[in-house]
A and B are shown apart, each in its own frame.
Chain A
Amino acid sequence: MSPSVAELLLQRLEREPPGPGGGLCSLEAAAALGLDHQTLVGAVKSLQALGEVIEAEARAATRWELSEEGAEVLRAGSPEVRLFRSLPPEGLPHSDAMKLPGAQVGFSKAMANKWLRLDKAAPGGPRVFRAVEAVQDAVQDGLRRVQEGDAAALPERERNELKRRKLLLEVTLKSYWIRKGRAFSTAVARQETDLTPEMIATGSWRQLPFKPYNFSALGLPPSCGHLHPLLKVRSQLRQIFLEMGFTEMPTDNFVESSFWNFDALFQPQQHPARDQHDTFFLQDPAEAPELPASYMAKVKKVHSQGGYGSQGYKYEWKVEEARKNLLRTHTTSASARALYHLACQEKFTPVKYFSIDRVFRNESLDATHLAEFHQVEGVVADRGLTLGHLMGTLREFFTKLGITKLRFKPAYNPYTEPSMEVFSYHEGLKKWVEVGNSGVFRPELLLPMGLPENVSVIAWGLSLERPTMIKYGINNIRELVGHRVNLQMVYDSPLCRLDT
């Protein structure tokens, strides 16, 4: 077996005296051993890993080299000189002169050197003449000196000019100065990296030295798929609702009529949310073909004239407005459908409902707002529910989300009364931040559906994105949702454990 590069290097190094005086340059050693420099550097690295067999000190040296174009100039002369020499004494028309060798690059340079003269008034068009008798090719001379290894003698200004013209290249060479180490030996035992079945079978592992593992390095990442962080939070929220006995509502219709999205929720037809500025209306299908006629008549009446103990909004309610299709602005439209369905049952049964799905707003977009987001909604319908029940339910729900310090602020929603914004104390921000909205559905919403008078419905909602952004420390929503997602963030996101 021929000696390895490391062994060759050690043999070469043995001849050097120990101490600061003795040593080898890796470049010279590679040349002497007839090896590629990189191969030798590899051997240096592997010897370094063995401990103090050798010492190696990294060095960097810069060297000037001719570029391909520089080599051409050295051979044939600089473009400006070549142009000068090929221009006949009687001169040439400018257009012909530009066809001479070197003219494309050299013309402006030769003009700047005042070697040439351009007579713009010459008969037959501008004409180029020599302006001096003879010229010296300083560029070629400079390159020759570099080629001869005398780059250091060239004035820095000249060298930089040649570099600027891309005729010279500055090359940095990395090398090592290699000396004997404290434990120098030419007989380096090869350390085993892996235990093999043969070693175990023959028992040779007892005698063999093993290369130590680097325990401070990271392991090899497993190849795996990943779930999206927002949807991990969605799964946990579904889990929380299921733990609390809530049944999932169907929400698989992004397209909704204004009727279910607004009118059924007692949101008047002139409400700002029904503005083009806030809501995506549809061009096709522009109108909902089917609305529940007898229920709609009751909704119309409660808006325009009141009833069920209400004054109503006293305006002219129009079915054309109710028919207008849109992309639902909240999942509360789905809750309205679910409650209507419940009201159509022969006998009322108490229910707890939830949903988590997409909603759409025609809003201006920024770091925390997109045109679509996910809404989380919980609804409880039962006889005799109180505001205290709503607060108690919210406390249980948010505790499961890891949010324990809650307080409630009076608020206004068109479809709930009383209404409460839910605030939680944020330890990081040291202030109260809004975490959700809630309320008791208005009788003007429930009674036209046909729900019994003593049934109260409490409900709350929050966005899925906001707790996710807080949980995963994401500042820009575009990195989380949509195609501009940061996949590395998806790969690296930890488990979603909300209550720890």
Chain B
Amino acid sequence: MPTVSVRRELLFQALGRSYTDEEFDELCFEFGLELDDVTSEKDIISKEKGEGKAEGASDTVLYKIDVPANRYDLLCLEGLVRGLQVFKERINLPRYEKIIPAKGEGQKLIITEETAKVRPHAVAAVLRNITFTKERYDSFIDLQEKLHQNICRRRALVAIGTHDLDTIAGPFTFTAKAPSEIKFKPLNQSQEYTAPQMMDLYRTDSHLRHYLHLIENKPLYPVIYDSNGVVLSMPPIINGDHSKINLNTRNVFVECTGTDMTKAKIVLDTIVTMFSEYCEKPFTVEAVEVILPNGKTHIYPELAYRKEKVKPEHINKKLGISETPSSLAKLLTRMCLKSHVIGNGNNIEIEIPPTRADIIHACDIVEDAAIAYGYNNIQMTIPKTYTIANQLPLNKLTELLRLDLAAAGFTEALTFALCSQEDIADKLGTDISSTKAVHIANPKTAEFQVARTTLLPGLLKTIAANRKMPLPLKLFEISDIVVKDPSKDVGARNYRHLCAVYYNKSPGFEIIHGLLDRVMQLLEVPPSEENGYVIKATEGSAFFPGRCAEIFAKGQSVGKLGEIGTCF
């Protein structure tokens, strides 16, 4: 869940009233946000780096607010305030307007076909006559970073570039070039670098190094030029220094490039709807013409308003409430979904604004009605669903057997299903290739290389970790192991295993043998070669020579028992 950090003072100023921390926490809860922390820069620095380092840092109170992962419209102070003010009916939702400049006067972004293989999509828009302050500017930069980390999937799907339009001249060209042919002064650097030099430069950059892999091995790197050959940006890595924005910037050219067109459009809509508030004509955005390699032209931002119809009784039935159509329309309007009753009260027409890309189905509208109604105001009822309960036979048997194993004096262990290759192979004297083990592709440590194929290593490790306990130790576990099985739809399957160990200064084969006899007795398997169970001498790599037997039930091998060798 993304966390947005806002200055309390600015937030309350924008909300037009102040709250106690408890009151604001309550408001967040109701709206589906979470006031995660009340802190300050000073607090954060002293927590991370020690108290000494925090001296002189600001002690302005910050609210850290957790925002649902699909609500891109709440990722900045501007959006949060707008959402909460509409929710509290203090303002009406603004209407975002796209201004299409007169023919020949608007900005153009031309996409060349070379981009197809590396980053095929681009959209753009212009924020005209914007007024930045320090706070607005910081929020603008923060929002881009939040979008990059979330919907943009760390810039893999979309990367954002914002530029001072007065320093560059359109039409702009989004193309892709061999890295060595790209040369410009990147943001906040004092000299020009070629693209390969930049890759080297940023290899140690704590922030930018995470994005290098997105284009590094491609033959061509994406790049945006203005009509004079000035580089705007080399997405998704870095912007040019030439066009960087500052507090005095009045006209901002916003471009989003990416591999996912839908998300690029959402990101552009989000940025311009949030910050057009500060334009001379608030909530207006100047459109940009994007010309595709095939010659087709699109106008961005989309700022599309979509109409949906939902029947009032559908909402009431889904939630278990009985509100009038007009009251439901009012609830939805409070969630930034402007609604009104149509067709003699039989239907509600809902307008989905461009900020609410998360609304993709009527069920999303139903949820918003529930939030505005207040989840905790809904009457709790017990469904009339009549069913007869059944246990899974395997689990039922496991539950019964656990109780009787404990009654036999053995203590239940609970060990990990994941372990190292060594645990299930080398340490038991077998080769990993003979285990049919399932292998994990991306383990962070050796502890998670494979799924266990036997419960034994876990029990032995449990003993090793509890050597301070009085002897003897008698442990058991009934749990699943995993092996490859091509006949299953996923190519692997679980088996339920029972494993028990006896640990003492003397071996006690007869004790573990006795437990086997007891288990067989509980399962009504008599000691008999033909119809029951027998144990027969065998050798096992994990066991002491001559001290290992194989268990046969009705002629089938079902397990082993013996004294564990000294090879561990």
Task: Determine the distance from Cα of A444 to Cα of B535 in the docked complex, in whole angstroms.
Answer: 55
Binds A, one of B12-20, B212-220, B270-278, B398-406: B398-406
Query: Judging by beta carbons under 8 Å apart, are A227 and B412 in contact?
Result: yes
Contact pick for A228, options B389, B412, B444, B458, CB 8 Å = B412
Give the nearest-CB partner of A235 in chain B.
Answer: B399
Assess A276 versus B492: contact at CB under 8 Å? Given A409-B375, A456-B318. no
CB neighbours (8 Å) of B390 from chain A are 247-248
- From 380 to 420 in chain B, residues with beta carbon under 8 angstroms from any chain A beta carbon are 380-383, 385-392, 394-395, 399, 402-403, 405-418
* Contact (Cβ within 8 A) B321 A327: no
Bits for B474-486, please: 1 = Cβ < 8 Å to A, else 0. Answer: 1010001010101
B414 and A482 contacting across the interface, CB-CB below 8 Å: yes
Q: Which residues, 408 to 463 on B, are CB-close (under 8 Å) to A?
A: 408-418, 438-444, 447-448, 451, 458-459, 461-462
Which of A255, A480, A483, A490 contacts B411 (CB under 8 A)? A490
Whole-angstrom CA separation of A243 from B66 in the bound complex: 37
Minimum Cβ distance to chain B for residue A315 (Å): 6
Alpha-carbon separation in the docked complex, A124 to B487 (Å): 84
Task: Among B317, B410, B439, B442, point to the contact of A362 (Cβ < 8 A).
Answer: B442
The residue on B at minimum CB distance from A350 is: B385
Count, chain A residues at interface, CB 8 A? 102
Interface locus among A87-95, A110-118, A191-199, A278-286: A278-286
A484 and B465 contact, CB distance less than 8 A: yes
Please tell me if the beta carbons of B464 and A387 are within 8 angstroms of each other in the complex: no
Q: Does A311 sit at the interface, judged by CB under 8 A?
A: yes
Q: How far is the CA of A225 from the CA of B402 in the complex (A)?
A: 10
Contacts of A284 in B (CB 8 A): 438-439, 484
**B262 and A313 contact, CB distance less than 8 A:** yes
Whether the pair B409, A224 counts as a contact (CB closer than 8 A) is yes
Question: What A residues does B42 contact at CB under 8 A?
Answer: none
Q: Does B97 contact A (CB under 8 A)?
A: no
B406 contacts A225, C-beta separation under 8 Å: yes
Which of A235, A272, A483 gathers most chain B CB within 10 Å?
A483
- Chain B residues contacting A313 (CB-CB under 8 Å) are 262, 360
Which residue on B lies nearest to A288, using beta carbons? Answer: B490
Residues of chain B within 8 A (CB-CB) of A245 are 386-389
Q: Does A55 contact B (CB under 8 A)?
A: no
Q: Which residues of B contact A306 (CB under 8 A)?
A: 360
Query: Of A276, A350, A392, A442, which contacts B381 at CB under 8 A?
Result: A392
Task: State A420–B378 Cα separation when bound (angstroms).
Answer: 13
A-B contact count (CB 8 A): 294
Q: What residues on B are CB-neighbors of A250 within 8 Å?
A: 392
Q: Name the segment of B186-194, B362-370, B542-550 touching the other chain.
A: B362-370
Is there contact, CB below 8 Å, between A409 and B34? yes
- Does A135 touch B at the CB level, under 8 Å? no
A417 at the interface (CB under 8 A from B): yes
A59 to B474, CA, bound (A): 44
Chain B min CB distance to A474 (Å): 13
CA of A254 to CA of B448, assembled, Å: 14
Q: Of A27-35, A43-51, A146-154, A378-386, which binds chain B?
A: A378-386
Q: Does B71 contact A (CB under 8 A)?
A: yes
A183 CA to B2 CA, complexed, in Å: 81
Asked if A382 and B385 sit within 8 Å, CB to CB, the answer is yes
What B residues does A484 contact at CB under 8 A?
Answer: 465
Partner of B387, one of A288, A350, A491: A350
Beyond A311-B361, A485-B414, is A289–B486 a contact (Cβ under 8 Å)? yes
Is A386 touching B361 in the complex (CB atoms < 8 A)?
no
Closest A residue, CB atoms, query B390: A247
Instruction: Enumerate chain A residues within 8 angstroms of B493, measured Cβ to Cβ.
Output: 252-253, 255
Judge whether A425 is part of the interface by a CB distance below 8 angstroms: no
CB of A351 within 8 A of chain B?
yes
Q: State whether A230 touches B414 (Cβ < 8 A).
A: yes
B491 interface contact, C-beta 8 A: yes
Interface residues of A in 350-385 (CB under 8 A from B): 350-352, 358, 360, 362, 364, 370-372, 380, 382, 384-385
| Cα(A350)–Cα(B459), bound, Å | 42
Residues of B within 8 A of A283 (CB): 439-441
A488 touches B444 (CB 8 A): no
Q: Do B458 and A487 have beta carbons less than 8 Å apart?
A: no
Q: A388 CA to B411 CA in the complex, in Å? A: 43
Q: Is the CB of B489 within 8 A of A291?
A: yes
**In the complex, are the beta carbons of A386 and B317 less than 8 A apart?**
yes
Q: How large is the interface on B (under 10, 10 to 19, 20 to 34, 35 or more residues)?
A: 35 or more
Residues on A with beta carbons closer than 8 Å to the beta carbon of B182: none
In the bound complex, CA of A8 to CA of B254 (Å): 105
**Complex CA–CA separation, A417 to B480 (angstroms):** 33
| Most chain B CB within a 10 A radius of its CB, from A306, A314, A487 | A487
Is A319 among interface residues, defined by CB-CB distance under 8 A?
no
Q: Is B31 an interface residue (CB 8 A)?
A: yes
Q: Within 8 Å CB of B447, what residues of A?
A: 371
Contact with A along B490-518 (1 / 0, CB 8 A): 11111010000000000000000000000
Determine the distance from Cα of A352 to Cα of B386 in the docked complex, in whole angstroms. Answer: 9
- For A261, give the chain B residue with the smallest CB separation: B490
Q: Is the CB–CB distance between B462 and A485 below 8 Å?
A: yes
B157 touches A380 (CB 8 A): no
Cβ-defined contact, B408 with A225, below 8 A = yes
Q: Is the CB of B482 within 8 A of A418?
A: no
What's the Cα separation between A358 and B392 when bound, in Å?
A: 16
Q: How far, in angstroms, from A130 to B321 measured CA to CA in the complex?
A: 108
Residues of A contacting B411 in the complex (Cβ-Cβ under 8 angstroms)? 225-226, 228, 487, 490-491
Given contacts A409-B32, A417-B363, contact A285 B492 (CB under 8 A): yes
- Contacting residue for A410 out of B371, B395, B439, CB 8 A: B371
| Contact flag A388-B381 (CB < 8 Å), given A362-B442, A417-B367 | yes
In the complex, which of the residues A248, A391, A442, A444 contacts B391, with contact meaning CB atoms closer than 8 Å? A248
**A380-B385 in contact given A283-B440, A411-B32, A483-B462 (Cβ < 8 Å):** yes
In the assembled complex, the Cα of A196 lies from the Cα of B453 at a distance in Å of 56
On whether A412 and B371 interact (CB within 8 A), knowing A227-B403, A255-B491, A285-B492, the answer reads: no
A385 to B153, CA, bound (A): 36
User: In the complex, what residue of chain B is closest to A363 when comparing beta carbons?
Assistant: B444
Interface centre among A225, A246, A391, A396, by most B CB within 10 Å? A225
**Counting CB contacts under 8 A, is B473 at the interface?**
yes
B229 on interface, CB distance cutoff 8 Å: no
Minimum Cβ distance to chain B for residue A426 (Å): 15
Q: Are A362 and B441 in contact (CB under 8 A)?
A: no
B494 touches A253 (CB 8 A): yes
**Contacts A227-B402, A388-B320 known; A253 to B492 CB distance under 8 Å?**
yes
Q: In this assembly, does A256 line the interface, its C-beta being within 8 Å of a C-beta of chain B?
A: yes
B557: CB under 8 A from chain A?
no
Residues of B within 8 A of A77 (CB): none
Minimal Cβ-Cβ distance residue in B for A253? B494
Which residues on A sit within 8 Å (CB–CB) of B378?
Answer: 387-388, 391
Cβ-based interface call for B469 (8 A)? yes
Q: How far, in whole Å, are A245 and B388 apart by their CA atoms in the complex?
A: 5
A442–B262 CB distance below 8 A = no
B383 and A385 within 8 A (CB): yes
Interfacial chain B residues near A246, Cβ < 8 Å: 387, 389
Write out the residue numbers on chain B whose beta carbons fall within 8 Å of the beta carbon of A443. 361-363
20 contacts between A and B (CB under 8 A): A223-B409, A225-B405, A225-B406, A255-B482, A270-B153, A270-B263, A280-B440, A281-B442, A288-B489, A314-B261, A352-B389, A386-B319, A389-B382, A411-B68, A417-B367, A418-B367, A440-B363, A480-B414, A482-B414, A483-B465
Known: A255-B482, A360-B418, A418-B319. 16 other contacts (CB 8 A): A235-B399, A284-B439, A289-B486, A385-B383, A386-B319, A387-B378, A389-B383, A408-B376, A409-B34, A410-B367, A412-B71, A417-B367, A418-B375, A458-B383, A481-B416, A491-B411
- 3 smallest CB-CB distances across A and B, nearest first, come from A388-B320, A410-B32, A386-B320
Chain A residues close to B by CB (< 8 Å) = 223-228, 230-231, 235, 238, 241-250, 252-257, 270, 272, 276, 280-291, 306, 308-315, 325, 327, 350-352, 358, 360, 362, 364, 370-372, 380, 382, 384-389, 391-393, 395-396, 407-412, 417-420, 440, 442-444, 456, 458, 480-488, 490-491
